[in-house]
């Protein structure tokens, strides 16, 4: 009966049924059968995205524009939370993960290859967490693949508490390190993103924290294009970053997330950015609640969408978009533009394809805290340490001393080494633990906290007891500085020198200087290890404490790295990514966003320690500097220098290349970093270090924001630190004058 029935069905109908059966038998996320074109992995992404968006109701569309996007069960679309973090390792997840040095510490490595590798490992751990979470049905915050990192704001003022999250004060360093992070995190697969990075906070944003929701940044066009935008341009145009986060504050009278110039003219029109934009959390609420540029939530939501903000981190304002469409403030088609950007990212992450098609979907939790990842965390902690002082070659210390005293508020503080926006490792090593582990049973290690970070203004500290306990030690290691407990994002902190997450003074808290004076008076060798996320003014310490290390917030293995440097198992080569000023008087007003007399590029005074500074346990010689006398516009220039390790121990050297334009009538930096390379050079060995200087590197910002090569004289210099006499470090700077024709 069945055979006779089938025989009477037209052949074309049989073929149609078989074809449909093939479609419906294929797997797709949350569906047993493939019913819609968007579920077909063989179709181009843009066609799949358009098909998906066309099937959504307006209520469903608006819900997908919140950071916590619900499932659309009738279409088999899973719930997704856009908010994840991975500033220096995957952050805030319920899993144990590898924690690398804080971003400012990674910048101090001046090693873009090391940062790229770290980002790749971080994406690997993020994929493992996401894969496992999907298996467990967990779509909560912090388990997704869209990471709101890196923070590439320029650290223009050391008082900003979130400066620790950045790559420092220099646009070139920030852009280069940021690009390395993005390309490492997003991977190199031609079809799928390993993870999605997000450049934040676009664009003129760097404190103060307490007023960020109402602040209106006013700067010149020159500063905008010369300082605040280059890193974003590099990540958007060159690194192809998947996302951008717009900032809380206003810029020239408009909130950043609804800014004509920043969002429409520059980001979308000039830079042709096709990725997604998220607001900072609650930033759209600020339109009508604090900036007062919108009359209500509905108009604020429409304004943000029309300026290209595709997803709201929040759950209030964008819910009014349904009404905004009905009221004619924008069209449903304008919502579709944002939805297509958002779903394009999700498709590129492989979320709508069978897991067997996505190689990253195979990554398991065995990669979490893998030996390779932990080794990279230790490597970068070592690389980040900057040797500021080493008078009379106090360091490295002998491992065979009989008694060592370890003192200070950061000596055994696991919170400080983890920084902020951090994950939690299974194991971590504080400075005290690292020092103890380094030394044998023949060395006694005694520990006292000695003081907290700030002390009590109402009491005169008495360090007699501390001094009596350590005066017979062969060496004293004081581990102080500040802490992410004091500086960070919009914090409820009000102590002397600190307010709301920012600092009111860059000076080392007075109580620590007082304790250091008491320790130094013992006559014993004193080593000062600073932990910090920003520049600290230490004029007394720089003159009187013979050995000073800046260790930042060094991540899970910070203590091991510190001990390795102190006892000579690692030769430090970190460089300062920010200027260390002498005092508060060197700084303009915190709220002044002008770059006049700020950072090494425009500071006219003498720093305590300059940008790019860092010592070594060996010495280096620079010679055979080859650079053309005449440079023709529009063509790249290659320069080279020979670097020789003239000391007795192997060491890494960061060779930095700077340009200075001479005799100009237009504004230009005093000097500007245009290249850096970190290399291991063995004792007695020489290496030729080459740099290619692009026409863009040789160009200057014009009044309209364009770049132009300006004919005239320039100086090209290469060396072991910033080319200033008072901040020369490992090797004497060498340079030549050239003519741009």
User: Which of 285, 369, 487, 653 is the catalytic position?
Assistant: 487
Within 10 angstroms of residue 397's Cβ, the number of other Cβ atoms is 21
User: Cα dist. 559→150, 427, 440 in Å?
Assistant: 25, 12, 16
Rounded distance between C-alpha atoms, residue 296 and residue 289, angstroms? 8
User: Cα dist. 695→184, 434, 521, 562, 675 in Å?
Assistant: 26, 47, 55, 41, 13
456 is known as an active-site residue: no
218 is known as an active-site residue: no
**Order of strands across the sheet that contains 475-481:** 386-390, 547-550, 526-531, 475-481, 403-407, 444-448
Rounded distance between C-alpha atoms, residue 479 and residue 133, angstroms? 39
Coil/strand/helix, residue 608:
coil
Rounded distance between C-alpha atoms, residue 720 and residue 734, angstroms? 10
Rounded distance between C-alpha atoms, residue 195 and residue 216, angstroms? 33
Beta bridge partners of 653: 679
Q: Which of 678, 674, 715 is nearest to 691 (CA)?
A: 674
Within 10 angstroms of residue 71's Cβ, the number of other Cβ atoms is 14
Coil/strand/helix, residue 703:
coil
Rounded distance between C-alpha atoms, residue 718 and residue 655, angstroms? 7
Beta bridge partners of 344: none
Rounded distance between C-alpha atoms, residue 480 and residue 551, angstroms? 10
Element (DSSP H or E) covering residue 655? strand 651-661
The burial class, CB within 10 Å (0-12 / 13-18 / 19+), for 15 is exposed
Q: Which residue has the tokens 């997330």?
A: 257
User: Which of 111, 280, 310, 564 is the catalytic position?
Assistant: 280
Within 10 angstroms of residue 415's Cβ, the number of other Cβ atoms is 14
The burial class, CB within 10 Å (0-12 / 13-18 / 19+), for 360 is buried
Rounded distance between C-alpha atoms, residue 731 and residue 429, angstroms? 33
Q: Which of 86, 126, 132, 124 is nearest to 106 (CA)?
A: 86
Instruction: Output the six-digit token pair for 187.
Output: 């991977």
Q: To 10 degrees, the CA torsion angle through 62, 67, 70, 74? A: 60
Query: Peptide bond before 203: cis, by omega within 30 degrees of 0?
Result: yes
614: number of CA atoms within 13 Å, CB side?
Answer: 27
The pairing of strands 276-279 and 243-246 is parallel
User: Cα dist. 569→236, 325, 379, 548, 560 in Å?
Assistant: 40, 65, 12, 17, 10
Q: What is the DSSP code (8-state) at residue 114?
A: H
Element (DSSP H or E) covering residue 254? strand 254-255
Instruction: Output the six-digit token pair for 722.
Output: 């910033």
The CA radius of gyration of the chain, in Å to the nearest whole number, is: 28
Q: In the chain, count of helices (H) and strands (E)? A: 22, 27
Strand stretches in 21-121, DSSP E: 68-69, 80-81
What residues contact residue 12 under an 8 Å CB cut-off, 6+ apart? none
Element (DSSP H or E) covering residue 333? helix 332-348
Beta bridge partners of 676: 656
Rounded distance between C-alpha atoms, residue 23 and residue 557, angstroms? 52
Catalytic residues: 280, 487
């Amino acid at each position: 009966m069945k055979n006779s029935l089938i025989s009477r069905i037209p052949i074309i109908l049989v073929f149609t049924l078989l074809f449909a059966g093939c479609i419906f038998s294929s797997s797709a996320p949350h569906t047993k059968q493939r019913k819609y074109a968007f579920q077909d992995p063989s179709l181009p992404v843009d066609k799949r995205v358009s098909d998906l968006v066309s099937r959504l109701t307006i209520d469903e569309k608006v819900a997908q524009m919140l950071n916590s996007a619900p499932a659309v069960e009738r279409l088999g679309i899973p719930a997704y939370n856009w908010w994840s973090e991975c500033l220096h390792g995957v952050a805030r997840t319920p899993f144990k993960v590898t924690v690398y040095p804080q971003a400012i510490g990674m910048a101090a490595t001046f090693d873009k290859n090391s940062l790229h590798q770290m980002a790749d490992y971080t994406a690997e751990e993020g994929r493992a967490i996401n894969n496992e979470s999907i298996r467990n049905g967990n779509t909560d915050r912090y388990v997704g693949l869209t990471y709101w990192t890196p923070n590439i704001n320029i650290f223009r003022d050391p008082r900003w508490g979130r400066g620790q999250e950045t790559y420092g004060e220099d646009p070139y360093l920030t852009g280069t390190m940021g690009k390395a992070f993005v390309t490492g995190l997003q991977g190199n697969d031609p079809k799928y993103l390993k993870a999605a990075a997000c450049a934040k906070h676009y664009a003129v944003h760097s404190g103060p924290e307490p007023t960020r929701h109402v602040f209106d940044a006013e700067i010149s066009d020159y500063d905008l294009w010369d300082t605040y935008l280059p890193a974003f341009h590099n990540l958007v145009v060159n690194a192809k970053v998947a996302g951008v986060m717009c900032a809380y504050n206003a810029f020239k009278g408009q909130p950043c997330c609804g800014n004509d110039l920043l969002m429409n003219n520059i980001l979308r029109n000039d830079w042709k950015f096709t990725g997604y934009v998220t607001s900072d959390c609650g930033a759209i609420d600020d339109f009508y609640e604090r900036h007062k540029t919108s009359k209500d939530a509905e108009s604020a939501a429409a304004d943000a969408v029309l300026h290209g903000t595709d997803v709201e981190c929040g759950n209030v304002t964008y819910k009014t978009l349904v009404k905004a469409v009905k009221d004619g403030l924008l069209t449903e088609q304008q919502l579709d533009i944002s939805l297509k950007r958002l779903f394009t990212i999700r498709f590129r992450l492989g979320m709508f394809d069978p897991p067997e098609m996505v190689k990253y979907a195979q990554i398991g939790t065995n990669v979490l805290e893998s030996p390779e990842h932990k080794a990279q965390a230790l490597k970068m902690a070592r690389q980040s340490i900057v040797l500021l002082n080493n008078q009379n070659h106090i360091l490295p210390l002998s491992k065979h001393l009989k008694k060592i005293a370890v003192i200070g508020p950061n000596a055994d503080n696991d919170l400080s080494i983890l920084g902020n926006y951090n994950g939690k490792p299974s194991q971590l090593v504080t400075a005290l633990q690292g020092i103890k582990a380094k030394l044998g049973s023949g060395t006694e290690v005694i520990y006292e906290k000695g003081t907290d970070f700030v002390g009590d203004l109402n009491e005169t500290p008495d360090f007699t007891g501390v001094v009596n306990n350590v005066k017979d030690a062969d060496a004293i290691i004081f581990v102080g500085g500040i802490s992410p407990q004091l500086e960070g994002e919009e914090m409820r902190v009000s102590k002397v020198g600190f307010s709301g997450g920012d600092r009111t003074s860059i000076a080392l808290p007075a109580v620590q200087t007082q304790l250091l004076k008491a320790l130094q008076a013992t006559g014993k060798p004193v080593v000062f290890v600073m932990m910090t996320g920003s520049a600290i003014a230490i004029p007394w310490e720089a003159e009187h404490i013979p050995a000073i290390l800046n260790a930042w917030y060094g991540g899970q293995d910070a203590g091991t790295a510190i001990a390795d440097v102190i006892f000579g198992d690692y030769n430090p080569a970190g460089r300062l990514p920010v200027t260390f000023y002498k005092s508060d008087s060197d700084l303009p007003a915190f709220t002044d966003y002008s770059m006049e007399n700020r950072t090494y590029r425009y500071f006219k005074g003498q720093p305590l320690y300059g940008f790019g500074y860092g010592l070594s346990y060996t010495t280096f010689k620079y010679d055979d500097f080859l650079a053309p006398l005449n440079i023709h516009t529009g063509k790249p220039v290659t320069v080279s220098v020979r670097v020789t390790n003239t000391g007795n121990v192997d060491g890494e050297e960061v060779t930095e290349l700077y340009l200075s334009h001479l005799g100009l009538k237009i504004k230009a930096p005093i000097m500007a970093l245009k290249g850096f390379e970190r290399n291991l050079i063995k004792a007695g060995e020489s290496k030729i270090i080459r740099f290619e200087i692009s026409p863009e590197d040789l160009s200057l910002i014009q009044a309209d924001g364009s770049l132009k090569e300006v004919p005239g004289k320039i100086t090209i210099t290469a060396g072991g630190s910033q080319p200033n006499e008072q901040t020369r470090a490992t090797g004497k700077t060498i340079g030549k004058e050239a003519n741009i024709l």
